[in-house]
Amino acid sequence: MKIAVVGATGLVGQVMLEVLNARGFQFDELFLVASERSVGKTISFQSKNYTVISLEDAVSRRPDIALFSAGGDTSLAWAPKFAEVGCRVIDNSSAWRMNPDHKLVVPEINAHELTKDDFIIANPNCSTIQMVMALAPLHRAYSIDRIVVSTYQSVSGTGVKAVQQLENEEKGIDGDRAYAHPIYRNALPHCDVFLADGFTKEEQKLMQEPKKILGDQSLKITATAVRIPTAGGHSEAINVSFKRDFELSEVRRLLEESDGVVVQDDVSQNLYPMPATAHQKDEVFVGRIRRDPSQANTLNLWVVADNLRKGAATNAIQIAEYLVAQSLV
């Protein structure tokens, strides 16, 4: 088994390596791939030094699986070239997510859709993943009508430059900015670029991607995405209306029995999900589970996950694990 990590020097690429190691993913050869400016750098992994290679070099080595986290333009240009040599590409960018010819996969929900014909597989947006992980079992039971989601997103979702901006501002240091405004002691209702309709691209992803993953184009979803000065994970306040009524005890049971979901919901002990406690964990944490008294069949949830792990690297590697387990590669 030959594995390539494309974007190995970036934040998500580094976490890809951590998760490959933590989950004991088996491979015979590992190729660490990055842009031309990083070619030749050395990265230590599992007590071995690897030299970063170019995309062109990586294609020539014909990996079996390539884990892409190098941006949409790189994915559009290079994923098909990897696929042409028989490589399964699992792409973390938005490039292929809404393409009807490519699957958008959260393994616990819809990995069963994958076949031997799938050579470019899309990894969903980080905020989408944690939302659908919490809502999929409830959708199966009660049929979702409408979702109103507000996100509180870590600076790590923007990348190294944003993390550095926060750290600089905490120390009172002037430096390059990833954002239009200071992020320290602030909250920015501005994740990704603004679109013509007034929503941001991040909000658009939250409104579109769940329909594809859950296989239900009738879902009504609206979103507001906010960047906050934390680095451990993304949080979401979700208000969800169902077509059928529910019992809170049954909601809790369904969530507790869902793979990859952990219920943290004991307010008498101040127990609820937080980015600080979700950091470097692979699960999605759900709490503050309560009925919305203002509308029939409506539930409030608070959902938190590490956006670099389950929101990116872990989900991609779980897809790779599924491909191997089902002999699809």
**Do 82 and 196 have their domain in common?**
no
Enter the tokens of residue 105. Answer: 């996969």
Give 132's pLDDT tier (boundaries 50, 70, 90): very high
Residues 69 and 273: their CA atoms lie apart, in Å, by: 27
Give 246's pLDDT tier (boundaries 50, 70, 90): very high
Residues 76 and 93: their CA atoms lie apart, in Å, by: 9
**Do 215 and 321 have their domain in common?**
no
Residue 45 pLDDT exceeds 90: yes
Supply the pLDDT for residue 232.
Answer: 85
Residue 248 pLDDT exceeds 90: yes
**Do 93 and 188 have their domain in common?**
no
Model confidence pLDDT, tens digit, residues 278-311: 999 999 999 999 999 999 999 999 999 999 999 9
126 is catalytic: yes
191 is catalytic: no
Q: Which whole number is the average pLDDT over 56-75?
A: 97
Supply the pLDDT for residue 231.
Answer: 86
Q: Which whole number is the average pLDDT over 180-184?
A: 97
Q: Work out how many domains the chain is built from and give that number.
A: 2
Residue type, 200: T
**Do 87 and 109 have their domain in common?**
yes
**Do 119 and 237 have their domain in common?**
no
Q: Which whole number is the average pLDDT over 191-196?
A: 97
Rounded (5°) CA angle 166-170-174: 75
- Kindly provide the b/e burial profile for residues 194-213, where b requires at least 16 CB atoms within 10 angstroms of the residue's own CB: eeeeebbebbbbbbbbbbbb
Model confidence pLDDT, tens digit, residues 258-268: 999 999 999 99
Enter the tokens of residue 8. Answer: 């190995």
Catalytic residue among 87, 126, 191, 279: 126
> With contact defined as beta carbons under 8 Å apart, do 8 and 43 qualify?
yes
> With contact defined as beta carbons under 8 Å apart, do 285 and 264 qualify?
yes
Helix ranges restricted to H, 23-125: 55-60, 72-84, 107-110
Catalytic residue among 102, 139, 234, 279: 234
Residue 229 pLDDT exceeds 90: yes
**Do 208 and 319 have their domain in common?**
no
pTM of the model: 0.96
Q: Which whole number is the average pLDDT over 136-162?
A: 97
- Kindly provide the b/e burial profile for residues 10-28, where b requires at least 16 CB atoms within 10 angstroms of the residue's own CB: bbbbbbbbebbeeeebebe
**Do 172 and 131 have their domain in common?**
yes
Residue 272 pLDDT exceeds 90: yes
Q: Which whole number is the average pLDDT over 76-102?
A: 97
**Do 268 and 131 have their domain in common?**
yes
Q: Which whole number is the average pLDDT over 34-41?
A: 94
Residue 106 pLDDT exceeds 90: yes
Give 172's pLDDT tier (boundaries 50, 70, 90): very high
CA distances in angstroms from 173 to 106, 167, 228, listed in the order given: 40, 8, 19
> With contact defined as beta carbons under 8 Å apart, do 142 and 246 qualify?
yes
Q: What is the CATH number of the domain that holds 256?
A: 3.30.360.10
Residue 47 pLDDT exceeds 90: yes
**Do 50 and 96 have their domain in common?**
yes
**Do 25 and 89 have their domain in common?**
yes
> With contact defined as beta carbons under 8 Å apart, do 235 and 303 qualify?
yes
Residues 79 and 91: their CA atoms lie apart, in Å, by: 8
Residues 110 and 245: their CA atoms lie apart, in Å, by: 25
Enter the tokens of residue 52. Answer: 């970063």
**Do 153 and 262 have their domain in common?**
yes
**Do 7 and 105 have their domain in common?**
yes
Q: What is the CATH number of the domain that holds 6?
A: 3.40.50.720
The residue written with tokens 């290679």 in the block is 53
Residues 115 and 285: their CA atoms lie apart, in Å, by: 30
Q: Indicate left, alpha or beta for 131 from its phi (over 0: left) and psi (-120 to 50: alpha).
A: alpha
Portion of the chain with pLDDT greater than 70, in percent: 100
Give 244's pLDDT tier (boundaries 50, 70, 90): very high
Rounded (5°) CA angle 276-311-315: 125
Which residue segment(s) compose the domain that 72 sits in? Answer: 2-123+312-325
**What backbone phi and psi angles, to 5 degrees, belong to 300?**
-110, 140
